[in-house]
Structure formats: C-alpha cells, structure tokens
Chain A
C-alpha cells in the first residue's frame, strides 16, 4: 500500500494525527470560547485526544495491557475532575450570576 492508503485505513501515524487534530480543536475551544462550561468541554476533548494517542501506541506495541490499565486510571481522574470542576462553576454562578470566564476577574481588581 502507498503511504496515503495506509493513512486512510488507519496506521499509527493516522491515529496520532487524529488525536492531534482533536487536541487542537479542544485547545481552541478553551482559548477562544468564553463560557466556562464550553471551556470545560474543551478540556474533556483534549483529555480524550490524549487517551486516543495512548491506546493507539498501546495497540501498536503488540496489544499492551498496561495501556488499558492507564486508561482506566485516567478516566477515574477525569470523573473526579468533572465533579470538582462543575461544582466550581456552580459555586461561581451562585456568587456572581455568571458562567463567563471574562467576568470572573475578582482576583485582578
């Protein structure tokens, strides 16, 4: 197969490339969107891109089981992060009636 064909049918390079694209979209969401909830979703997307790269590497190392164990721990930590992060957003909303990250600037004044 030619290099283009292996890319289109999924080689390690193609998986890493896709993970990279997802990561960049997540990063753009965090940097450009203003709503804290959108930024939160961008973080989840970046985490997911990292997971995709991890599991792709684990598979091309001959189906390494350690990769899946790591994935398990990563999603456990992601669940904790989601709970605490959303609690922070709710607490901010109680305090300032906003979920806009530009308006949460009390530390700057």
Chain B
C-alpha cells in the first residue's frame, strides 16, 4: 500500500514540475496531495488525511486554479533573457542538496533502527481534547491570523478601499 500511494504522490509532483499548461500542473498537484492523504491514512492518522483533502486539495488548490483562470495565464510566458547560467546553477544546487540529504537519510543508523510499534489510530476526540486543553491560546491566535490574512488579501487586491 505504501508503495502505491508513494508512487501516486511522486507521479503527481513530477507531472506538476514538467507540465507546460498551468491548469494541468495544478490538477497534477491535486493528484499528489491525494496520494499524500493516502500516506497519512497509512500513518494511522485519518484526521490528518481528511484535513489534507479538505484544506489542500479542496481549498488551496481550487484557489490557485481560480487565480490561474482569472489571470488567463495558462502557459508560462516566453522568457525575455535566456539566463542559462542561473538555470543550470539552480538545477545543480537542487541535485547537490538532494543527493547529500539522501545520503544522510539512508546512512542514518538511528532512523533505520526505529521500532515499528502498533499505535491507535488518531481520533478527532483525542485531537480536540489536547487542542483545547493545552493549545487554546494558539488556537485563538490562529483565528486572528486568518482574519488578518483575509483583510490583507482583500486590501491588496481591491483598487480603492
């Protein structure tokens, strides 16, 4: 099962990276997020899987697709300057960073020796009790933050307030 969901999310991410058409790229990202939601299910965390589908695949990606269609920028514009060096330098940086992090993960004896214990699946009840017992202040501040972001977004886009 792990392999299936991992391949789905990797395929979605790679398609997002390669697609010329921005709408197709956004839809591939939906595929990727759905695969990640499946991985959250395998991690015994159905709450996170549901949140992933509702918030990421449902809300954020729909907002991105909406903006792509609103601005009618379905294709990447042709570049004015080639900027070849920058492109190769960034590809090289990504490859180096990826390779070194890969080496760290694969050769870490601590990561490999973590025991695979049985865990209870996450429930909304356990999450809610902890959230409102220990993180009440942070929860309220998050509400304020969402309000601030909403006002900021409206004031940025509106021509005259």
Q: List the interface of chain A (C-beta within 8 A of B).
A: 3, 8-18, 20-22, 24-29, 31-35, 37-38, 40-42, 44-45, 48, 51-52, 55-56, 58-60, 62-63, 65-66, 68-69, 71-73, 75-84, 86-91, 93-94, 98-100, 102-103
A31-B93 in contact (CB<8A): yes
User: A50 → chain B, closest Cβ, in Å?
Assistant: 11
CB nearest neighbor in A for B68: A37
29 contacts between A and B (CB under 8 A): A9-B3, A10-B6, A13-B108, A13-B114, A16-B111, A20-B98, A22-B10, A22-B13, A22-B36, A31-B91, A33-B17, A34-B76, A37-B71, A41-B26, A45-B13, A55-B45, A58-B43, A63-B119, A65-B130, A69-B135, A73-B142, A75-B51, A79-B55, A83-B63, A88-B156, A99-B71, A100-B79, A102-B80, A102-B81
State whether A12 and B94 are in contact (beta carbons under 8 Å apart), knowing that A45-B16, A69-B130, A71-B51 are contacts in the complex: no
A63-B63 in contact (CB<8A): no
User: A29 → chain B, closest Cβ, in Å?
Assistant: 5
> Please, which residues of chain A bring their CB within 8 A of the CB of B77?
34-35, 98-100, 103
B16-A13 in contact (CB<8A): no
> Please, which residues of chain A bring their CB within 8 A of the CB of B60?
44, 78-79, 82
A86-B79 in contact (CB<8A): no
User: B46 → chain A, closest Cβ, in Å?
Assistant: 10
User: A35 → chain B, closest Cβ, in Å?
Assistant: 5
B112-A34 in contact (CB<8A): no
CB nearest neighbor in A for B102: A20
> Please, which residues of chain A bring their CB within 8 A of the CB of B149?
79-81, 83-84
Main secondary structure of the interface of B (DSSP, over half): helix
Q: How many residues of B contact A (CB 8 A)?
A: 84
Kindly name the residue among A34, A65, A99, A102 whose own CB sees the greatest number of chain B CB atoms within 10 A.
A65
B9-A18 in contact (CB<8A): yes
> Please, which residues of chain A bring their CB within 8 A of the CB of B59?
79, 82
CB nearest neighbor in A for B93: A31
User: B32 → chain A, closest Cβ, in Å?
Assistant: 7
- Extra contacts besides A37-B22, A84-B153 (19): CB < 8 Å: A20-B102, A20-B105, A21-B13, A26-B13, A34-B79, A35-B76, A37-B73, A38-B76, A41-B29, A48-B33, A62-B117, A68-B45, A68-B47, A77-B142, A80-B148, A87-B157, A91-B156, A100-B79, A102-B80
